[in-house]
Structure 1
Amino acid sequence: MNGYVLLLLLYAGALIALGILASRSVRAAADFFVARRSLGAGRLFATLLAANIGAGSTVGAAGLGYQFGLSGWWWVGSAGLGSILLALVVGPKLWALAAQHGFYTVGDYLEYRYGRTVRGTIAVILWVGSLAILAGQWIAVAWILDVVAGVPKPFGCAFGGLVTILYFAAGGLVSATWVNVVQVIVKLSGFALALPFALGSVGGWTGLRETVLAQDAIGSPYFEFVGFGLDRVLAYCLMLVPSFIASPGLVQKVYGARSAQAVRIGVGANACALLLFAFLPVGIGMAVRAAHPDLAHRELALPVALVSILPVWLGGILLAAIFSAEVSSADAVLFMLSTSLAQDLYKRFLRPEASERELLRVSRLTATVAGAFGILLAIMLPSIIAALSIFYTLLSAALFVPLILGLFSTRPRERAALMAIALALVVTAGTHLAAEGQGIAGLPPIAFGLLASFGAMLPALLRPGR
């Protein structure tokens, strides 16, 4: 058996065992959905950082470092900037409302603020998009396993999916937070150890600079913080900052905090960690550029570092870190998908009288069924990683303006919120298609969707208050 595969099997078994062990304290839906609102700053930090460091923040960021150099920092760095706003402004307000009114999902907040129709509309958008995003995470697992160990795609998808389902469905947010603590330690350790080894293999920073500058068509912008241009920096910020403020998976984890202070500290520490972590995969990608300048695809940078540059023992740790990144992001997606199906569909529309224990059973069932569909979708689709960004972009565009404005004004009502959601979807998708995903005038499609969404709610904001 390939040593990498054996390592992953042992590591995956440990994650599943920890998730099942933690689930022994789960007795009701409040445990599964919001961990009894008991998360201190430390566990909140770990579960948010685990969700935020996924395939895009590792494989994708290393690819950006490979192609663009130091300015690839802005991909993960923009997520850190959004997390700062979540920590200081949005998160404490949402937590206070959730604690006061017993919210479990973002849908609970939207119905409280705007009405049942808005809740149902966002829930449908979330279900469709989240299933595709979930499949995308497991395709990423399969791709990495294929590169490093020759594991066929169906087995790779099933392996990643089953690990996530088993530890998450057992205990929901309670299990996920404890598993996420281990995953974060492995991620940070793996990448922190890998960067100096990768740089050392090409002669350190000086050797890296000399080698890369000697290559064709690169030049000094490769080593500049905004080397790929201010327009791309702005595009990343506009695309990612709203996503990391309004993501249902992140907001619902914030609901699980024990206090507003825990939100500020935990989410704030997550933001700082993202701002620092952003340098690690980018630096590894830059080292791979010096050693292997002719890769067919930039996303191969991290797998190539794993098998060609790093010593075997460190390659194994980095593989565990990459696997952790992808399954922890998958559990965050499974979290928002299964809880929304159970609370926003089953509890709200099918069985309003459902007890806490019944809702817990339904939550576990929906997590299992949704995960199974995600595995099947991942196996059937050839490659959807690059295309999946539009699903998350559409979800963020639809949700961001109604969620944020609802915290600061009571004037916009249901009709304005529905119009904002509709315009955000139409304008974002239309711009994406018209510009072939490239945006217009340096601005990404979501920028136009957010502007249209805000415009739809502006008349209500300007209306005299009652």
Structure 2
Amino acid sequence: MNLYLAVLVVYTGLLMAVGLWSGRAVGGSKDFFVAGRRLGPGLMCATLLAINIGAGSTVGAAGLGYRDGLAASWWVGSAGIGSLVLAFWIGPRIRRLAASHDLHTVGDFLEFRYGRQVRATVALLLWIGTLAILAAQIMAMGFVLGAVSGLDRWVGSLIGGAVVTIYFTAGGLLTSVMVNTVQLVVLVVGFVVVFPLILDSVGGLSTLMADTSHIEGYWNLWQGGQSGWFYLAMLGPSFIVSPGIIQRVYAARDDRAVQLGVGLNGVALLLFAAAPALLGMMARVVSPGLADEDLNFALPTLLVATLPPLLGALGLAAIFSAEISSADAILFMLATSLSRDLYQRFLNPKADDATVLKVARRAAVAGGLAGTALAILSSSIVDALGIFYTLLAVSLFVPIVVGLFVGRVGRAEALASIVAGVALVAVVQVWVGGAGVGGFTPAMIGLGGALGAAVIAGILTRSRPREVTG
């Protein structure tokens, strides 16, 4: 067993031990779903930052940086901007609502606000999208394990999927928060240590710029290749309404915890945004000629090629940490939605707390197995993430954000926005292969259609105002 693999094996063993130990404190579904609603600013920031810096923000963004240059910074930067909007505008309001009405999931909010039809419609869409992004996170683990050990990607994906499923099933959000704190420490230490060393190994920033100056648009922050500011339309709204993030906001003990915790997470994401893009650009200098289908190997290959084994192992542990923390957040979304939005709401409304907790754990196992299977069959991390984030933006932005502040938005408007947004995205994807139309990305077109459909439905139905304050 080589050093890289040994470090990852020990590290994953530590994460599983922390998860199983903290899982003993779970006394019921409230602990599993919302960690007892007792997260302060520190834990809130730690768990959000750990889940937000995942496969897309490391392996995926570095691959985009390799191909497109500095403009790939918008992938993570857009998440930071969305997080700041959540921290100071959306988050405190929806937390108060969740606390006063005992809401545990985004589905609970949608039913409270619009009724069962909207809850069921969104839940169905999210089950599909959630499996796609879970597969992307597990796939990234497979790439990391494959790069350091020579294992086939499917074997690495199988191992990664098993690790996250085992420790999350033990205790849900309560376990996830504890493990995320460990993961964040490894993530921050790893990137802080290895980034300057890798930059020095390629000759510093001036040499990096000189060696890549011949690539058109490579140092253009606004747009380069297929990356740029337009990621904001897809990723910004997604990080405002993502169920995995919103349900962590539910777990905050007060508004101050939301504002400080989510806000610090947003600032940290903005500060981190350029790092994976620059690492990808360094990888292009060290290993030129990677094909598009091999871009996911850019970051792991860079760490192994430029650093001493022990430091390379630390960097790989940081990446692996990012993938696992994001995967448990996605598994959390899937397990809570299946157990609350499907089982308790439609299949067994009289289920007691112990039964719901048991179903949530079984749903986590089933979701982990399905996500791992999809990871083995898929090929591109960024493509899988793009499907999920676009689906989130067009299906949830209007029902959650507009519904929180505009009392006249009712069931008809919510359903119209969901159907129109998803349908328009599907048409654009089929028509032009997701490339966009007239400078507008599929996410922009879907969001515009969702808002327009809600307005038209409101005019036709004239829904009565509904109070939504907590």
Confirm or deny that 1:225 pairs with 2:221: yes
Q: RMSD across aligned C-alpha pairs, in angstroms?
A: 1.7
Residue number in structure 2 paired with 1:355: 352
Given that 2:412 and 2:458 are in contact with CA atoms closer than 8 Å, whether structure 1 keeps it comes out as no
- Among 412, 425, 428, the alignment partner of 1:428 is 425
The offset of 1:386, in angstroms, is: 3.8
Counterpart AA for 1:279: A
| Counterparts of 1:152 and 1:32, CA distance in 2 | 34
| Counterparts of 1:233 and 1:5, CA distance in 2 | 35
Residue number in structure 1 paired with 2:9: 9
- Among 437, 440, 458, the alignment partner of 1:440 is 437
| Counterparts of 2:169 and 2:393, CA distance in 1 | 25
Residue number in structure 2 paired with 1:140: 140
Confirm or deny that 1:150 pairs with 2:145: no
Residue number in structure 1 paired with 2:468: none
Confirm or deny that 1:162 pairs with 2:162: yes
Per-residue CA deviations over 1:21-78 (Å, capped at 9, x if unaligned) read 1111101000000000011111111111111111110012112222333222111001
| Counterparts of 2:290 and 2:123, CA distance in 1 | 41
| Counterparts of 1:395 and 1:316, CA distance in 2 | 34
Given that 1:27 and 1:357 are in contact with CA atoms closer than 8 Å, whether structure 2 keeps it comes out as no
Q: Which moved more, 1:336-345 or 1:347-356?
A: 347-356
Per-residue CA deviations over 1:423-449 (Å, capped at 9, x if unaligned) read 111001111221211111222101111
Per-residue CA deviations over 1:117-164 (Å, capped at 9, x if unaligned) read 100111111112212321222122112211221112332122111110
Residue number in structure 2 paired with 1:240: 235
The offset of 1:371, in angstroms, is: 1.1
Confirm or deny that 1:249 pairs with 2:259: no
Residue number in structure 2 paired with 1:197: 197
| Counterparts of 1:209 and 1:383, CA distance in 2 | 31
Residue number in structure 1 paired with 2:254: 259
The offset of 1:382, in angstroms, is: 4.3
Query: What secondary structure is seen at the aligned counterpart in 1 of 2:69?
Result: helix
Given that 1:409 and 1:461 are in contact with CA atoms closer than 8 Å, whether structure 2 keeps it comes out as no
Residue number in structure 1 paired with 2:287: 292
The offset of 1:300, in angstroms, is: 2.9
| Counterparts of 2:252 and 2:378, CA distance in 1 | 39
Query: What secondary structure is seen at the aligned counterpart in 2 of 1:304?
Result: helix
Residue number in structure 2 paired with 1:105: 105
| Equivalent residues in 2 for 1:363-402, closer than 5 Å | 363-379=360-376, 381-388=377-384, 389-402=386-399
Change in 2 beyond 3 A, CA 1:299/1:165: closer
Residue number in structure 2 paired with 1:67: 67
Counterpart AA for 2:342: L
Aligned residues: 460
| Counterparts of 1:382 and 1:409, CA distance in 2 | 40
Fraction of identical pairs, as percent: 49
Q: Which moved more, 1:144-153 or 1:80-89?
A: 144-153
Residue number in structure 1 paired with 2:269: 274
Residue number in structure 2 paired with 1:454: 451
The offset of 1:227, in angstroms, is: 5.0
Q: Which moved more, 1:456-465 or 1:407-416?
A: 456-465
| Counterparts of 1:236 and 1:70, CA distance in 2 | 13
Counterpart AA for 1:252: Q
Given that 1:83 and 1:244 are in contact with CA atoms closer than 8 Å, whether structure 2 keeps it comes out as yes
The offset of 1:461, in angstroms, is: 5.3
Given that 2:16 and 2:167 are in contact with CA atoms closer than 8 Å, whether structure 1 keeps it comes out as yes
Query: What secondary structure is seen at the aligned counterpart in 2 of 1:387?
Result: helix
Per-residue CA deviations over 1:201-222 (Å, capped at 9, x if unaligned) read 1211122222223xxx415x43
Given that 2:34 and 2:104 are in contact with CA atoms closer than 8 Å, whether structure 1 keeps it comes out as yes
| Counterparts of 2:222 and 2:372, CA distance in 1 | 38
| Counterparts of 1:393 and 1:163, CA distance in 2 | 28
Residue number in structure 1 paired with 2:313: 316
Counterpart AA for 2:364: A
Residue number in structure 1 paired with 2:126: 126
| Equivalent residues in 2 for 1:21-60, closer than 5 Å | 21-60=21-60
| Counterparts of 1:25 and 1:465, CA distance in 2 | 44
The offset of 1:268, in angstroms, is: 0.3
Q: Which moved more, 1:137-146 or 1:417-426?
A: 137-146
| Counterparts of 1:226 and 1:452, CA distance in 2 | 25
Confirm or deny that 1:171 pairs with 2:161: no
Counterpart AA for 1:243: S
Unaligned stretches of 5+ in structure 2? Answer: 466-470
Given that 2:421 and 2:447 are in contact with CA atoms closer than 8 Å, whether structure 1 keeps it comes out as yes
The offset of 1:235, in angstroms, is: 1.5
- Among 322, 326, 332, the alignment partner of 1:325 is 322
Residue number in structure 1 paired with 2:334: 337
Given that 1:84 and 1:268 are in contact with CA atoms closer than 8 Å, whether structure 2 keeps it comes out as yes
Query: What secondary structure is seen at the aligned counterpart in 1 of 2:383?
Result: coil
Provide TM-score, normalisation by structure 2.
0.94
Query: What secondary structure is seen at the aligned counterpart in 2 of 1:258?
Result: coil
| Counterparts of 2:392 and 2:132, CA distance in 1 | 12
Unaligned stretches of 5+ in structure 1? Answer: none
Given that 1:198 and 1:288 are in contact with CA atoms closer than 8 Å, whether structure 2 keeps it comes out as no
Q: Which moved more, 1:121-130 or 1:451-460?
A: 451-460
